[in-house]
């Protein structure tokens, strides 16, 4: 999980949802690094929506908002 903090900071400052590929490209990581870093995290949500960067409708990552 060495990349979790960088991923979390990116998602926190860039609001919205990003696909694994775009997130990995922005942070110069591999998609496997992104998957491994977020494997058991409960504060990051995965949903089917439009990626803010590539504008494709697919599985995307974003921070879970608390109530």
pLDDT in tens, 10-67: 999 998 899 999 999 999 999 999 999 888 888 888 899 999 999 999 999 999 876 4
Reported as a pLDDT band with limits 50, 70 and 90, residue 4 is confident
The string of DSSP letters for 21-63 reads HHHHHHTT--HHHHHHHTTT-SSEEEEEEE-TTT--EEEEEEE
Q: Which residue has the tokens 């494709």?
A: 56
* Contacts (Cβ under 8 Å, ≥6 apart) of 59: 19, 20, 46, 47, 48
Under 8 Å between Cβ of 18 and 9 = no
């Amino acid at each position: 999980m060495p990349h979790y903090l960088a991923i979390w900071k990116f998602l926190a400052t860039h609001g919205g949802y990003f696909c694994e590929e775009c997130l990995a490209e922005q942070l110069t990581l591999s998609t496997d690094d992104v998957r491994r870093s977020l494997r058991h995290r409960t504060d990051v949500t995965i949903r089917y929506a439009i990626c803010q960067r590539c504008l494709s409708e697919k599985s995307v990552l974003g921070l879970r908002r608390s109530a």
